[in-house]
Chains A and B, each alone.
Chain A
Amino acid sequence: MLSIRNLKVSIKGKEILKGINLEVKAGEVHAIMGPNGTGKSTLAYVIAGREGYEVTEGEIIFKGRNILGLSAEERACEGLFLGFQYPVEIPGVSITNFLRTAINEQRKYKGLDPVPATEFLARMEEKKKLLELQEKLASRSVNEGFSGGEKKKNEIFQMAMLEPMLAILDETDSGLDIDALRIVASGVNKLRRPDNSTIVITHYQRLLEYIVPDVVHVLFDGRIVKSGGKELALLLEEKGYEWIRKES
């Protein structure tokens, strides 16, 4: 699904990612953990195609194709999704219309006709239930006046609607109370399929009690310094990141 090889990334001449290697297979859930400022969000942004980052070395292979030359929208159309740590408010544009536009542009990219209105609405209803969303949420403007929890739920709702092959969830657990966390996590779990993959970026082990990863990576100072099974997350929780610092 995703294969990152020796990825080095700088921002304004400062190297943030110093040679990332990562293999994510179809059906897998990977967790990337690490302290603040180690490059977790940078990695997410670079995979999703945000401008302003300088890739100095390496490649990102998604579904067998190097995507570094593709724009953010092309990567989305190829099946990538980024759940934002800080979702953006778009006043005046309803979630419904935002999603319909996104789905139709993705379909156009694939040479498909626009989604029929009835099919679209049925999919909305189904996914709203999945995430226990309030009935009126979809007619509200994208993220406008949403609480932190509503914004994160809306990210997962968008993911559910867009049905990506690979979803990267950047700190989706931050700012969530325990009930919201449970709903978000169960949404992610229900969307798991043998042919799609998820990368969960998180600070804390808490989310991983609900979304059980196949592989846990520790990102430290721009490198993945340790990878292991889900027990690695527990070890980190117990020993803290100091332990990794000393080891590396």
Chain B
Amino acid sequence: MPKQDVIMNVGIIQKTYDLQEYLKSVFDKMKHEITKNDTAFIAEKREKAFGLFNKAGFPHPALERWRGTDLSRALNHEYSTLPEPPPADLDIDKIFKCDVPHFETLLVTQLNGWYADRKNLIQVYPNGMIIGSLAEAFQKYPELVEAHYGKYADDKAESLTALNTAMSQDGIFIYIPDNVTVEQNIQMVNITDFKQNLFLNTRNLVILGENSHLRLVQCDDSINHDVTFINTVTEVKIGRNSSLDHYKLQNKDDHTTLINSMYFYQDEGSSLSTNAISLNGGLIRNLSHVTLSGAHSSADVYGLYLMDRHQHVDNQVYINHVAPDCESRELFKGVLDDQASGVFNGHIKVYRDAQRTNAFQTNKNILLTDKASIDTKPFLEIYADDVKCSHGATIGQLDAEALFYIRSRGISESNAKILLMYAFAAEVINKISIPELRQRMDDMVKKRLRGELSQCEQCVLNCSTQEHQKVSFVIDMSKI
């Protein structure tokens, strides 16, 4: 890594370090390492993708898709990239243990981008389900991988996706064959634990066959608190008449930049529900790209963000109605405090043949201070003539009438505010269909609103670690 000092003046960041140049030198010099698990197909994709990234460079706010989100501060660090795989004797339980009560999951862990279970890189279950390392899947199931890999992710529109295609070494591979209903929730946990600043590209591929059903929970966690830039791309294919219930939970520390790009591709009669809950993080950008390619498919895309201090969250939702008779519903809600900033960009595109499309989009925001900001842009692009579409965005403060109503019952102003914020967030929380997860997220949102949820807790779901176990609520909104 080039040794150059980063000079920071108050309010001005002088660019003395060229991350793109560094990554280019890594890509050229370490090609043997990067491509060691590749098939010819994958290796070729990398070359093409790096060319796209190198031409476009890192995204910047002058791009329409990146308006309001400035990576320059995050990019102006020296990073290590291409971390080593974990040792073969790694004890996963020692790194991560999910303690959500009664939350039965099949845990799939990644450490620094690598599939963590090094002794058992891929597993085939009795029902035909395959779960394991994506790098291993390149080798073992090339036909299955190559039928989908890189087909849905958009290397041209998103240079960070291209960078991911070029440089990611591993990730999680999930294959659900036809006619399988996966009873357990599958929980994908992406952990970073690295002694230096880390720039990580990690790549996942999820394939659902026909008439199959899956619930997938994706968590991003960090163990140490060095500067981390995580660039995750997940491609998801949902086959005919299949359904996916997907959750993305983010509770990262303020030194983390998290670029999470989801590309969903749906066949006829399929349904998707995806919910991104961002509770903490230095800079978070969630991209949800949904293509409804088969008729009678549906997508529900939800999000909740609660940000404060100097945190920044950006939700980009692109829904492509390619086929007729499909439905999409979007609901994103956020509370921004202190000097936090947010972006919502919802783009619904209805193709000429996508007649009888129903597409609805809502983004609601509460700004708690004058310095908090949200840049919201609902956008409809319609080429069919028989469609029902709506979009709406609101930005407001807490309702003064409602605050007085609650206070007039004897509830203090600060608790009345929390209650109203909780009421605002509950609409999204209630969309979570896994009861144990909903209960836990409900708890975490309450904690977050009371300022008790620290970003340094190890796990996004792990809010009952010892030091936090004794937290009690003045407002107890649990059902009795």
Q: Does A178 contact B (CB under 8 A)?
A: no
Pair B480/A96 contact, Cβ less than 8 Å: yes
Could you tell me the distance between the alpha carbons of A109 and B410 in the complex, rounded to whole angstroms? 9
Q: Does B399 contact A (CB under 8 A)?
A: yes
- The verdict on A105 contacting B476 (CB below 8 Å), with A50-B404, A76-B407 known, is no
Q: Smallest distance from the beta carbon of B400 to chain A beta carbons, Å?
A: 8
Which of these, A75, A84, A93, A104, contacts B419 with CB under 8 Å?
A: A93
Q: Does A90 contact B (CB under 8 A)?
A: yes
Pair A76/B476 contact, Cβ less than 8 Å: no
Pair B408/A72 contact, Cβ less than 8 Å: yes
Across the interface, name the chain A residue whose C-beta is closest to B478: A97
Pair A97/B411 contact, Cβ less than 8 Å: no
Q: Smallest distance from the beta carbon of A85 to chain B beta carbons, Å?
A: 11
Pair A105/B423 contact, Cβ less than 8 Å: no
Q: Does B405 contact A (CB under 8 A)?
A: yes
Q: Does B339 contact A (CB under 8 A)?
A: no
Q: Does B434 contact A (CB under 8 A)?
A: no
- Which residues of A in the span 101-142 have a Cβ within 8 Å of any Cβ on B? 101-106, 109, 117, 121, 139, 141
Which of these, B407, B430, B474, contacts A72 with CB under 8 Å?
A: B407
Across the interface, name the chain A residue whose C-beta is closest to B479: A94
Contacts of A141 in B (CB 8 A): 423
Contacts of A51 in B (CB 8 A): 400, 404
Chain B interface residue count, CB cutoff 8 Å, equals 33
Which of these, A96, A102, A109, contacts B409 with CB under 8 Å?
A: A102
Q: Does A87 contact B (CB under 8 A)?
A: yes
Could you tell me the distance between the alpha carbons of A77 and B410 in the complex, rounded to whole angstroms? 5
Q: Does B93 contact A (CB under 8 A)?
A: no
Contacts of B423 in A (CB 8 A): 90-93, 141
Could you tell me the distance between the alpha carbons of A94 and B422 in the complex, rounded to whole angstroms? 12
Across the interface, name the chain B residue whose C-beta is closest to A90: B423
Could you tell me the distance between the alpha carbons of A100 and B478 in the complex, rounded to whole angstroms? 11
Contacts of B426 in A (CB 8 A): 91-93
Chain A interface residue count, CB cutoff 8 Å, equals 40
Could you tell me the distance between the alpha carbons of A117 and B415 in the complex, rounded to whole angstroms? 21
Q: Does A48 contact B (CB under 8 A)?
A: yes
Could you tell me the distance between the alpha carbons of A81 and B405 in the complex, rounded to whole angstroms? 10
Pair B405/A105 contact, Cβ less than 8 Å: no
Pair B409/A76 contact, Cβ less than 8 Å: yes
- The verdict on A88 contacting B405 (CB below 8 Å), with A97-B480, A100-B476, A101-B419 known, is yes
Pair A49/B408 contact, Cβ less than 8 Å: yes
- The verdict on A101 contacting B420 (CB below 8 Å), with A48-B408, A73-B411, A158-B409 known, is no
- Which residues of B in the span 394-449 have a Cβ within 8 Å of any Cβ on A? 399-402, 404-413, 415-416, 419-420, 422-427, 429-430
Contacts of B478 in A (CB 8 A): 97
Could you tell me the distance between the alpha carbons of A93 and B407 in the complex, rounded to whole angstroms? 15
Q: Does B475 contact A (CB under 8 A)?
A: yes
Could you tell me the distance between the alpha carbons of A117 and B479 in the complex, rounded to whole angstroms? 12
Could you tell me the distance between the alpha carbons of A36 and B412 in the complex, rounded to whole angstroms? 32
Q: Does B30 contact A (CB under 8 A)?
A: no
Pair A82/B411 contact, Cβ less than 8 Å: no
Pair A162/B480 contact, Cβ less than 8 Å: no
Q: Smallest distance from the beta carbon of A92 to chain B beta carbons, Å?
A: 3
Across the interface, name the chain B residue whose C-beta is closest to A121: B480
Could you tell me the distance between the alpha carbons of A97 and B478 in the complex, rounded to whole angstroms? 7
Contacts of B56 in A (CB 8 A): none
Pair B409/A90 contact, Cβ less than 8 Å: no
Q: Does B6 contact A (CB under 8 A)?
A: no
- The verdict on A71 contacting B413 (CB below 8 Å), with A90-B420, A90-B423 known, is yes
Contacts of B404 in A (CB 8 A): 48, 50-51, 72
Could you tell me the distance between the alpha carbons of A98 and B478 in the complex, rounded to whole angstroms? 11
Q: Smallest distance from the beta carbon of A98 to chain B beta carbons, Å?
A: 7
Complex interface bits, A7-26 against B, C-beta within 8 A gives 1, otherwise 0: 00000000000000000000
Contacts of A97 in B (CB 8 A): 475-480
Pair B476/A88 contact, Cβ less than 8 Å: no
Could you tell me the distance between the alpha carbons of A76 and B407 in the complex, rounded to whole angstroms? 8
Most A CB atoms within 10 A — which of B402, B413, B415, B419? B419
Could you tell me the distance between the alpha carbons of A82 and B423 in the complex, rounded to whole angstroms? 22
Pair A73/B412 contact, Cβ less than 8 Å: yes
Contacts of A92 in B (CB 8 A): 422-427, 429-430
Pair B405/A162 contact, Cβ less than 8 Å: no
Could you tell me the distance between the alpha carbons of A89 and B416 in the complex, rounded to whole angstroms? 13
Could you tell me the distance between the alpha carbons of A97 and B401 in the complex, rounded to whole angstroms? 20
Which of these, B399, B429, B476, contacts A101 with CB under 8 Å?
A: B476
Q: Smallest distance from the beta carbon of A213 to chain B beta carbons, Å?
A: 23
Contacts of A99 in B (CB 8 A): 409
Pair A102/B427 contact, Cβ less than 8 Å: no
Could you tell me the distance between the alpha carbons of A132 and B420 in the complex, rounded to whole angstroms? 28
Could you tell me the distance between the alpha carbons of A100 and B407 in the complex, rounded to whole angstroms? 14
Most A CB atoms within 10 A — which of B399, B410, B422, B429? B410
Q: Smallest distance from the beta carbon of B302 to chain A beta carbons, Å?
A: 15
Which of these, B410, B474, B476, contacts A73 with CB under 8 Å?
A: B410
Q: Smallest distance from the beta carbon of A163 to chain B beta carbons, Å?
A: 11
Q: Smallest distance from the beta carbon of B345 to chain A beta carbons, Å?
A: 26
Pair A90/B419 contact, Cβ less than 8 Å: yes
Q: Smallest distance from the beta carbon of B414 to chain A beta carbons, Å?
A: 10
Most B CB atoms within 10 A — which of A49, A90, A96? A90
Contacts of A49 in B (CB 8 A): 407-408
Chain B interface residues toward A at CB < 8 A: 399-402, 404-413, 415-416, 419-420, 422-427, 429-430, 474-480
Could you pull out 11 A-B pairs where Cβ atoms are within 8 angstroms? A51-B404, A73-B413, A76-B410, A87-B405, A91-B423, A93-B422, A93-B477, A97-B475, A101-B415, A101-B476, A102-B409
Further pairs besides A73-B407, A87-B405: 20, Cβ < 8 Å: A48-B404, A51-B404, A73-B409, A73-B410, A75-B408, A76-B408, A88-B405, A90-B419, A92-B422, A94-B477, A96-B479, A96-B480, A97-B476, A97-B478, A101-B476, A103-B410, A105-B410, A109-B410, A117-B480, A121-B480
